[in-house]
Amino acid sequence: MLATKSARLLIATSLSFAALSGARAQAFTFTEIANTKTSDFTGFQATAINDLGEVAFTAEAAGQLGIFQGDGGAIAPVVPFGAGLVDIEGIDFNSDGTVAFSDNSTPGLFTSDGNIITPIVTPATALGQLGFLPDAFSAPDINEAGSVAFQASDFGTGDLSLHLFEGNAITTIAKSPGFDIFRFSLNNNNDVAFFAIAAVADDGDAIFLRESAGAPVPLPDPLGFGTIEGPTLNDGKAVAFDTLFLNDEAESLQGIFIQDDADISLIVDTSGDFSTFTRPAINNAGALVFGAGLDNGDIGLFAGADPVSDRVIAIGDDFFGSTVTALSFTQQTGLNNLGQFTFNANFADGSAGVYRADFEQDDAQAVPEPTSVLTLLAVGLMGLTSQQRRRREYS
């Protein structure tokens, strides 16, 4: 294993404040994991957090990529500079300290525990494992048992397929042409949820749940949703997603929902101060984190339905000595079961950093009761054909 260029010891830096003023502002503590001003790093890409509050991130320095981990103290290499990484699609990180990642320059899918890089799929093994030669892999999802869900693109046909690596064997969950697959999520029970267009669904579009070793089954869809962004899945099999829909007054809205079997809860929509949402993350307690824009032009991260009290951080905020100019949060890997989440920030002074946010447990938002299906008329408002939408939507 190659050593890093230098020992990067970043002393834990924390910042606490209430998320805007308000009657019930949530208090957040922010920990700086890494920053370009206090290290040799020149930039950051993907991030992931495990259930110990440790953060893994992809970093760049001197034109090289590596994967590192930290919790606000010392930074340790998981895949050091010089290991030959060129095109990392994404990473995930479990509590054993194992990082799953793909490098699409190979292309290959790997895990690393900080000492040994273990291949899951390489060009030499792919034909026997998958039945085709891939030209790209999605950002993988690893659980506490070390199982890895991933999506692959067939070099010959461009078809997408979804797979689960479990116990040193790879199972194909779904593939084209039967499924046109988009986002997916793996929980600790080896259940996989994904959104797809498929002939087996009544309207073609559905969230599918593949439980353990079973076949994918479309979730009940009493509201007739069309195109769905997400989903993310917790261990209780609750699925969080965002979608466009019509309410009972025929208003076109975007909303964030949680679905637990046939029960659907509308968490927040664009009928108020929110103007748009990105895919939400959900943990085992039902807590949510998502990106959103407001009618006043603000863009930020939120941990609930109130645009004031649940605001975490937004572009334009003063943060760790500079002004935030960009934020990045990965819903598939960014939230843990302690209610902590990680994000990247770019600043007006040209620096960039990786951060962890902790919100006080007493302030964690409760999931609203399900909105009556009688008050919603959901329809597919994104008039996109399967061919228009099938190109990679990896996260």
**pLDDT tens digits, one per residue of 50-92:** 999 999 999 999 999 999 999 999 999 999 999 988 999 899 9
**Sheet of 27-35, strands arranged across:** 13-18, 27-35, 352-359, 340-347, 322-328, 318-319
Q: In angstroms, how far is the first alpha carbon of the chain from the final one? A: 28
Q: Are 130 and 362 in contact (CB under 8 A)?
A: no
Residue-level pLDDT at 89: 86
Residue-level pLDDT at 369: 38
The segments of the chain whose pLDDT lies below 50 read: 1-14, 16-25, 363-395
Residue-level pLDDT at 262: 77
Residue-level pLDDT at 13: 40
Query: 381-395, pLDDT tens digit by residue?
Result: 332 222 233 333 333
* Residue 76 exposed, middle or buried by CB count within 10 Å (0-12, 13-18, 19+): middle
Q: For residue 71, give both structure tokens.
A: 């919790």
Residue-level pLDDT at 201: 53
Residue-level pLDDT at 203: 56
Residue-level pLDDT at 17: 41
